[in-house]
Chains A and B, each alone.
Chain A
């Protein structure tokens, strides 16, 4: 008993020293909904850990660049991102493999979230579906092919190839055309042939929302995480359930290599993935849970990507496939669509 106490005291001393040195945890997160995220996760965590959480936001490319640039002396301790961004950073040796025994709710995660990019370099914390948002009073969308229909000509926006939603859209369009080529060549060429029929290739869901509110655009593929922008609007928006199914993706949480702040980082990751926090985040409508034990009321679940059936039905592209093909996509896109 005495020993245990002594060890505990020593530990708390060490922990105390550690937290005095590293009393801040720097987290790089998506910019969307950061205030609400602070309320649901970051601020309550500050109380749990007695530390200060510094939030770094920006678009994914900027955030990744910041991790690359500061590899020798990481500014960022924990970062959330897409699976392909995480895989790319992991391949550059910028992420550290997670010791999942330190994540108490690891076994509660959906199997696909437990090791999405290999080597436990990342854990999934939220899923999203990708489908088509459209004006239900003006059009009916039953298939991804409807984006090319005559009645929608000049009123459709597509997500830009450089974002996460772009490849998912191409993936579904490729399938709708009956192909399964991950090079998306025919699909990109088809978009190029209809180039002027698309209003724009948007980069941000905020931009899409503005364009749909001012009736510039009446249908566009988007991630479910953006649905809250449309659900409350006066105009009648609907979420398509195309016959080819919905695409989808997962966002993951990662830890930078050699950040020297591992204890706090593990504590934070464990906190975020816990049933309690995942439920709170879901109930605030911020992210769809990756923790299977999260139990949501139907009205809470409605705007989210929730439940094993839906999550298992999502058409996802393997992160390695995205990395292997994206340069070719971009080149073909630049050549045949933007040119």
Chain B
């Protein structure tokens, strides 16, 4: 009994610490005043509504969406075959390849952004959007490989062997047997990649151009202009969006198994 209460207390305090600030953001966004306050000064929806009227938020939301969706898809196109090769075949330099692909996790994002700006955007005339796309793809790639590998490892390889014996080509075996079975893993990788890319800050810090700015960077530059509660409101809206995506994923896929 005593244990039960201690346990509840520990979990309760930890969750308050982890989630409390988010609740405060939601409420601060409801403030009727001109500044971030908690408790809010009066209640109003005006900041939540204002979010939709700021042009730069719309543009940067579109860019971040684009990067998150297509960057992740690109990462999966590169990552799924890589994960398959790594987990199924004893390929030469397998460890090296793994290390290279995993490197973006350990290289601090700010350095990546700066490096891409200085050596791709400036001398090679890559557009900022392209550089962002490449950076986000590379960043998501390790997650894609890891999550897809994990679900490939749970799949017995004799199923494909059987398919091949029964006359399937290797590709046919992959698309008909392997892919349907790792669907969940691929989708989990997609969601993880999406969220990682969407919330990414340091990489994009140096990568911005005229009218080209990811949403988190745009929020930071908005805060250079004013600390009004619309950033809180926008944060809350984005969080709800993420929560819905994750909730749906968890409901249908048991997403947290892969994280």
Please report A residues at the B interface, Cβ cutoff 8 Å. 26, 31-34, 54, 56-59, 62, 66, 69, 75, 204, 206-207, 209-210, 213-214, 229, 232-233
Q: Contacts A69-B122, A214-B35; is A206 near B225 (CB within 8 Å)?
A: yes
How many Cβ-Cβ contacts under 8 Å join chain A to chain B? 46
**Which residue of A26, A204, A213, A233 contacts B224 across the interface (Cβ within 8 Å)?**
A204
Q: List 18 A-B contacts (CB under 8 A).
A: A26-B210, A31-B221, A32-B225, A33-B225, A54-B211, A57-B221, A59-B224, A75-B209, A206-B223, A206-B227, A207-B223, A207-B227, A209-B227, A210-B35, A210-B36, A213-B34, A214-B36, A232-B34
B37 at the interface (CB under 8 A from A): yes
B199 at the interface (CB under 8 A from A): no
Chain B 214-235 per-residue mask, 1 if CB under 8 angstroms from chain A, else 0 = 0000000101111100000000
- For the complex, give the distance between the alpha carbons of A207 and B227 in Å: 7
How far in angstroms is the closest Cβ of chain A from B49? 16
Q: What is the interface size of chain B, counting residues whose CB is below 8 A from a CB of the partner? A: 15
- The answer to whether B35 and A209 touch across the interface, beta carbons within 8 angstroms, is yes
Q: Provide the residues of chain B in CB contact with A31, threshold 8 Å.
A: 221, 224-225
- The answer to whether B227 and A58 touch across the interface, beta carbons within 8 angstroms, is no
- For the complex, give the distance between the alpha carbons of A62 and B117 in Å: 12
- For the complex, give the distance between the alpha carbons of A62 and B206 in Å: 9
B129 at the interface (CB under 8 A from A): no
Please report B residues at the A interface, Cβ cutoff 8 Å. 34-37, 122, 208-211, 221, 223-227
- For the complex, give the distance between the alpha carbons of A169 and B159 in Å: 74
- For the complex, give the distance between the alpha carbons of A66 and B117 in Å: 11
Residue from the set B210, B221, B223 with the largest chain A CB neighbour count within 10 Å: B210
Q: Provide the residues of chain A in CB contact with B227, threshold 8 Å.
A: 206-207, 209-210
- The answer to whether A213 and B35 touch across the interface, beta carbons within 8 angstroms, is yes
How far in angstroms is the closest Cβ of chain A from B10? 31
- For the complex, give the distance between the alpha carbons of A207 and B225 in Å: 9
- The answer to whether B221 and A214 touch across the interface, beta carbons within 8 angstroms, is no
- For the complex, give the distance between the alpha carbons of A232 and B34 in Å: 10
- For the complex, give the distance between the alpha carbons of A34 and B209 in Å: 17
Nearest chain A residue, comparing its CB with the CB of B36: A210
Nearest chain A residue, comparing its CB with the CB of B35: A213
- For the complex, give the distance between the alpha carbons of A140 and B210 in Å: 44
- For the complex, give the distance between the alpha carbons of A69 and B224 in Å: 23
**Which residue of B34, B35, B223, B225 contacts A34 across the interface (Cβ within 8 Å)?**
B225
How far in angstroms is the closest Cβ of chain B from A176? 29
- The answer to whether A75 and B122 touch across the interface, beta carbons within 8 angstroms, is no
Q: Contacts A31-B225, A57-B221, A209-B227; is A75 near B210 (CB within 8 Å)?
A: yes
- For the complex, give the distance between the alpha carbons of A209 and B226 in Å: 8
Q: Provide the residues of chain B in CB contact with A232, threshold 8 Å.
A: 34
Name the 6 nearest CB pairs between A and B, nearest first: A210-B227, A213-B35, A56-B210, A204-B224, A206-B226, A31-B225
- For the complex, give the distance between the alpha carbons of A207 and B226 in Å: 8
**Which residue of B34, B122, B221 contacts A58 across the interface (Cβ within 8 Å)?**
B221
How far in angstroms is the closest Cβ of chain A from B220? 10
- For the complex, give the distance between the alpha carbons of A22 and B146 in Å: 49
How far in angstroms is the closest Cβ of chain A from B189? 34
In addition to A32-B224, A58-B221, A206-B225, 9 A-B residue pairs with Cβ atoms within 8 Å of each other are: A56-B210, A59-B221, A59-B224, A66-B209, A69-B122, A206-B227, A209-B35, A213-B37, A214-B35
